[in-house]
Chains A and B, each alone.
Chain A
Amino acid sequence: MAQTTLGENTEDNKIKAVELAKAQREIGVAEFFAKNRHLLGFDNKRKALLTTIKEAVDNSLDACEEAEILPEIQVEIIEIADEKFRIIIEDNGPGIVKKQIPKIFAKLLYGSKFHQRRQSRGQQGIGISAAVMYAQLTTGKPAKILSKIAKDRPATYMELMLDTKTNNPLIKAEEEKDWPEKEHGTRIEMDIEGSYQKGDQSVDQYLKETAIVNPHTTIIYTNPKAEQIIFPRATEVKPRKAQEIKLHPYGVELGILLDMMHATETRTLQAFFTTEFSRVGPNTAKEICSNAAILPNMKPNEVSRETAEKIIAAIKKTKIIAPPTDCIVPIGEELLEKGLKKEVNAEFYAACSRPASVYRGNPFVIECAIAYGGDQPAEEPMTVLRFANKVPLLFQQGACAVTKSLIGTNWRSYGLSQSTGALPMAPITIVIHIASVWVPFTSESKEAIAHYPEIIKEVKLAVQECGRKLSSYIYKKKRIGEELKKRGYIEKYIPHIAEALKELVDNKDYQTENVETSLKEILERKRGEIEDIEADNQEFDESFANIGKKEKKPKKEGEEAEESTDEDTD
């Protein structure tokens, strides 16, 4: 009986497997992301508007930086219907050659940056094509691209869509156009479904923060209310161009190592290591081989998986100099502090740029700036502004390694109040910037930085350095406050001493005034000069600071519900 049952079951399974096989097929990458748009930052209408603009602006800034051009970017948002917006972003970048335009704008996972080990805003080659895909999914309209690469060449105009099944661009229109007002540059126009609001996670806030950490950039922004805001560049000095570096051995994983060994043109392991990796000379290469107990003249493409494992272990055993760090382009203490001064009117500023450090073979630099006191509320948690490769991170603060570091810092030792597991309650705005050849985000939407212990530690060290300067200021402020109190105290009792002495000495020649002035002199000589600690921030720009702040206007009915879901994204 039992056998019969078993036999029946087996037969049933066979049939089911055949059925199942009919439904099993490859999933297109575009299809996947179309379904999972939240992974790319298109969770809701408000965020979608921001993400679309962010992807385009990040690309423009990267392109200008690579071509060593001072960026001038125009951003325009036009409300074309209820919750439908036309987005136009135009830059003065190097332009894109005709052949590349469709792939860059209408193919996911296509781009130059993924394979390069260089500091840039974009990394994966998803962003802008995801925006194009989102536009077509929500309005059915193609993205319109205009790009010009030189003064004497005509511009290329294209209308693009993305085939979500095959992840291939669909060219809907193409022509040559005159674009006389531009020598070179790119313009993209998309119609998307979105929602425009001011506040912490708004387009306005994003552009403002971008201006803060990219002081060499001019942004001309027209919002849906047709208000034009200009963020003029604060410096003509272009940031140093980021250098590309090779992979450092400490960052290599087994799969990548095997791929590299099969693709390499080198003929020996020793040559493979010295050519394909940074910081590996012939001696280090030999040491790795001897630690792995293999010969340096072995052919890389003959290395087996087992041997590759040995090599990975050997790399860990070998002492290799940290990767070169000149590939990192930090913002710098001075510019970071200057940007913060524009944004926050505080009494005290401090900034710190850490020396480069390494996680998984990737060099990175942490920078921190702090603004204390002034107009900021004392009874609220500190304001955190996070940046990665000069891009503001507006979402997922709670999931970010930066937040973890800030919470793990003992702010009480700097004279601030902090509950365990929370940000300190203090009138502070803190800026944290991570610059790296590869920023480890927790998701493709690039909102939070992954919790690498090396990164958490470096953030902490940067914060502590600023914190130490801050605590000496807070201490000084307290001391001066007490000193002023004491001085008031002295001045209060001097007349009484003079009066009583007069009564006791009983001399006609008694010099009341002389006694009082002498007493003041005696007591003040002991106390020394008082330093002036008034807040005096000439660089604060109130109208600038108000950009992105929520407007106090009565809300329309029905808006309430959507806003609260928006808040949840953080």
Chain B
Amino acid sequence: MAGEKSGKDIIKQMQDIAVKIYNTILKKENPSVNIPLRSLNNVKYDEKEGYFELIGKEKERTLTASTAKTFAQTLRMMAMSKDLIKSDDIATKREAYYISKNWGDAKFLEQPESDNVMDDIEAMLMTNREQIGFVPEEKGGAVAGQLVVIDKDENGKELKIDCTKFGSGAYSVPVSVEHLRFETKAEFILAIETAGMFQRLVKHNYWKKANCILVSMGGVPTRACRRFIRRLADDKKLPVYVFTDGDPYGFFSIYRTLKVGSGNAAHINEYFCVPQAKFIGITPQDIIDYKLPTHPLKEVDKKKIKDVIKNDPFCIHSKEWQKALKQLADMGKRAEQQALAQHGLNFVISDYLPQKLKNQKTWLP
């Protein structure tokens, strides 16, 4: 990964922070740490770069009565990370939470607390959580189609995985993808929101017909999934098409996160985004053109549309998306991927996807 730091670099970085705090305390002054603000308020979208970039807002965590606990937890978590890197081990986010149970009064009561402190350290060090020894619990996504993944076995020996040979199953993206290499003759990557739609396309060998690689994101793509698609697309110069439900969640939680990254992980968006991604459906216009059965927009959907139009830097940047969201809001309706089954179970393979891929005008940026 470009700009990746070695374990040594990271330990040095953590020690520098600790020594600074140590010296401040011995001088009998109030110690503090600066952590980049992890939110959409602290990012900007630059089309040339293609992802959300930090604009440098920081929160200062000064040691006071009310921050004493979090302050102690942040330092203990850093110490835990240091041990992990030194012993070349990893801990899942859940495991890290359980390790904290040895800390007595400083233990975390719920996992979201420990996840949050972990994200803070990550942002503070401007690194990726895998590099500080922590890995997520969730899978990275499923892959099927014209792709050979080159991994290593436990002895470091090369291992070739042919993604055409999983039958009705799929290759599972590992939590860390930096060491993977790829061989492919596919023409594009199709990233799909739901496991159900992925299943249908796999069962009917859509990848063979369209000569592509299918990736199931299973909702909002994990970091590993995003990084996998990015590396593959960069490496093999492949276009990436994204296929989600026609609702605000599909557009701005799934698609936007994949393409430009998130506010929460702004410090690593550079590596965890897929700027070449294009949205091929389901667009609000598709709902009309394909006469799709719909559901009314839920309250959360309406709220999300308003929020996105007002606050999401990517949406603010994109006239097409603003238009699409307004169109959806005016219709007051949403449509799921599966709604295409209205026109026959394999309508999506025989008609929808070929038509969409052919006609760039029906895409969204």
- Contact surface of A with B, Cβ cutoff 8 Å: 486-487, 489-490, 492-494, 496-497, 499-501, 503-506, 510-511, 514-515, 518-519, 521-523, 525-527
A486, A492, A501, A522: the one within 8 Å of B22 (CB): A501
B331 beta carbon closer than 8 Å to chain A: no
Q: Are A504 and B18 in contact (CB under 8 A)?
A: yes
Contact indicator per residue, chain B 78-95, by CB within 8 Å of chain A (1) or not (0): 110011000000000000
A486, A497, A510: the one within 8 Å of B65 (CB): A486
User: Given A503-B82, A515-B25, A523-B63, does the pair A497, B75 have CB atoms closer than 8 Å?
Assistant: yes
B30, B65, B66, B72: the one within 8 Å of A500 (CB): B72
Interface of B is mostly: helix
Give the docked Cα–Cα distance between A486 and B67 (Å): 11
| Chain A residue at minimal CB-CB distance from B69 | A493
Closest 10 CB pairs of A and B: A500-B75, A504-B18, A496-B72, A503-B79, A493-B68, A496-B106, A486-B65, A493-B72, A500-B76, A500-B79
Q: Are B29 and A489 in contact (CB under 8 A)?
A: no
User: Given A497-B72, A499-B76, does the pair A514, B26 have CB atoms closer than 8 Å?
Assistant: yes
- Contact surface of B with A, Cβ cutoff 8 Å: 14-15, 17-19, 21-22, 25-26, 28-30, 63-66, 68-69, 71-73, 75-76, 78-79, 82-83, 103-106
Chain B neighbourhood of A514, CB < 8 A: 26
User: Given A496-B103, A504-B75, does the pair A521, B28 have CB atoms closer than 8 Å?
Assistant: yes
Q: Are A497 and B71 in contact (CB under 8 A)?
A: yes
Q: Are B82 and A504 in contact (CB under 8 A)?
A: yes
User: Given A496-B103, A511-B26, A527-B65, does the pair A504, B71 have CB atoms closer than 8 Å?
Assistant: no
Q: Are B79 and A522 in contact (CB under 8 A)?
A: no
Known A-B contacts: A496-B103, A500-B79, A505-B22. Give 6 more (CB < 8 A): A489-B65, A496-B104, A504-B14, A510-B22, A518-B26, A519-B63
- B34 smallest CB distance to A (angstroms): 17
Chain A neighbourhood of B103, CB < 8 A: 496
25 A-B pairs (CB sep. < 8 Å): A487-B65, A489-B68, A493-B71, A493-B72, A493-B106, A497-B71, A497-B75, A499-B76, A500-B75, A500-B78, A503-B82, A503-B83, A504-B15, A504-B18, A504-B79, A506-B15, A514-B26, A515-B22, A518-B28, A519-B63, A522-B25, A523-B65, A523-B68, A525-B28, A526-B30
| Chain A residue at minimal CB-CB distance from B106 | A496
Give the docked Cα–Cα distance between A504 and B18 (Å): 6
- B72 smallest CB distance to A (angstroms): 4
Chain B neighbourhood of A518, CB < 8 A: 25-26, 28
Give the docked Cα–Cα distance between A505 and B16 (Å): 8
- A185 smallest CB distance to B (angstroms): 68
Q: Are B25 and A489 in contact (CB under 8 A)?
A: no
Give the docked Cα–Cα distance between A371 and B293 (Å): 74
Give the docked Cα–Cα distance between A487 and B75 (Å): 20
Chain A neighbourhood of B82, CB < 8 A: 503-504
Give the docked Cα–Cα distance between A500 and B73 (Å): 9
Q: Are B29 and A504 in contact (CB under 8 A)?
A: no
| Chain B residue at minimal CB-CB distance from A510 | B22
Q: Are B75 and A501 in contact (CB under 8 A)?
A: yes
Chain B neighbourhood of A497, CB < 8 A: 63, 68, 71-72, 75
- B114 smallest CB distance to A (angstroms): 14
Q: Are B68 and A490 in contact (CB under 8 A)?
A: yes
Q: Are A505 and B19 in contact (CB under 8 A)?
A: yes
Give the docked Cα–Cα distance between A315 and B72 (Å): 78
User: Given A500-B76, A504-B15, does the pair A522, B28 have CB atoms closer than 8 Å?
Assistant: yes
Give the docked Cα–Cα distance between A499 and B72 (Å): 9
| Chain A residue at minimal CB-CB distance from B104 | A496
- B169 smallest CB distance to A (angstroms): 44
Interface of A is mostly: helix
Q: Are A526 and B78 in contact (CB under 8 A)?
A: no
Give the docked Cα–Cα distance between A391 and B106 (Å): 62
- A495 smallest CB distance to B (angstroms): 9
Quick one: which of A486, A497, A499, A506 has the most chain B CB within 10 A?
A497
Chain A neighbourhood of B64, CB < 8 A: 523, 526
Give the docked Cα–Cα distance between A504 and B124 (Å): 15
Give the docked Cα–Cα distance between A519 and B27 (Å): 10
| Chain B residue at minimal CB-CB distance from A523 | B65
Give the docked Cα–Cα distance between A497 and B103 (Å): 11
Q: Are B68 and A494 in contact (CB under 8 A)?
A: yes
Quick one: which of A490, A496, A518 has the most chain B CB within 10 A?
A496
Quick one: which of A489, A504, A518, A522 has the most chain B CB within 10 A?
A504
Chain B neighbourhood of A492, CB < 8 A: 68-69, 105
Give the docked Cα–Cα distance between A321 and B73 (Å): 72
Give the docked Cα–Cα distance between A505 and B15 (Å): 6
- A513 smallest CB distance to B (angstroms): 11
Chain A neighbourhood of B71, CB < 8 A: 493, 497
Chain A neighbourhood of B68, CB < 8 A: 489-490, 492-494, 497, 523
Chain B neighbourhood of A504, CB < 8 A: 14-15, 17-18, 75, 78-79, 82
Q: Are A522 and B29 in contact (CB under 8 A)?
A: yes
Give the docked Cα–Cα distance between A497 and B63 (Å): 10
Give the docked Cα–Cα distance between A521 and B31 (Å): 13
- A177 smallest CB distance to B (angstroms): 79
Chain B neighbourhood of A522, CB < 8 A: 25, 28-30, 63
Chain B neighbourhood of A499, CB < 8 A: 76
A489, A515, A521, A526: the one within 8 Å of B69 (CB): A489
Give the docked Cα–Cα distance between A500 and B64 (Å): 17
Give the docked Cα–Cα distance between A281 and B83 (Å): 97
| Chain B residue at minimal CB-CB distance from A521 | B28
- B80 smallest CB distance to A (angstroms): 9
B17, B19, B26: the one within 8 Å of A515 (CB): B26
Q: Are B79 and A493 in contact (CB under 8 A)?
A: no
User: Given A489-B65, A515-B26, A523-B64, does the pair A496, B15 have CB atoms closer than 8 Å?
Assistant: no
Q: Are A501 and B26 in contact (CB under 8 A)?
A: no
Q: Are A493 and B26 in contact (CB under 8 A)?
A: no
Chain A neighbourhood of B14, CB < 8 A: 504
Give the docked Cα–Cα distance between A130 and B105 (Å): 75
- B342 smallest CB distance to A (angstroms): 59
Give the docked Cα–Cα distance between A499 and B71 (Å): 12
Q: Are A496 and B105 in contact (CB under 8 A)?
A: yes
Chain A neighbourhood of B104, CB < 8 A: 496
- A530 smallest CB distance to B (angstroms): 13
Give the docked Cα–Cα distance between A504 and B30 (Å): 19
Give the docked Cα–Cα distance between A170 and B49 (Å): 118
Chain A neighbourhood of B30, CB < 8 A: 522, 526
Chain A neighbourhood of B78, CB < 8 A: 500, 504
Quick one: which of B14, B18, B22 has the most chain A CB within 10 A?
B22
- A407 smallest CB distance to B (angstroms): 40
Chain A neighbourhood of B73, CB < 8 A: 496
- A481 smallest CB distance to B (angstroms): 14
Chain A neighbourhood of B22, CB < 8 A: 501, 505, 510, 515
- B61 smallest CB distance to A (angstroms): 12
- B137 smallest CB distance to A (angstroms): 25
Give the docked Cα–Cα distance between A569 and B51 (Å): 84
| Chain B residue at minimal CB-CB distance from A497 | B72
Give the docked Cα–Cα distance between A303 and B69 (Å): 88
Give the docked Cα–Cα distance between A191 and B64 (Å): 75
Chain B neighbourhood of A523, CB < 8 A: 63-65, 68
Quick one: which of A493, A500, A527 has the most chain B CB within 10 A?
A500
Give the docked Cα–Cα distance between A480 and B266 (Å): 42
- B132 smallest CB distance to A (angstroms): 13
| Chain B residue at minimal CB-CB distance from A482 | B65
Give the docked Cα–Cα distance between A511 and B27 (Å): 13
Give the docked Cα–Cα distance between A514 and B105 (Å): 21
Chain A neighbourhood of B29, CB < 8 A: 522
Quick one: which of B29, B65, B78, B82 has the most chain A CB within 10 A?
B65
Give the docked Cα–Cα distance between A527 and B18 (Å): 25
Quick one: which of A492, A493, A499, A521 has the most chain B CB within 10 A?
A493
Give the docked Cα–Cα distance between A523 and B25 (Å): 11
- B289 smallest CB distance to A (angstroms): 59
Give the docked Cα–Cα distance between A523 and B66 (Å): 11
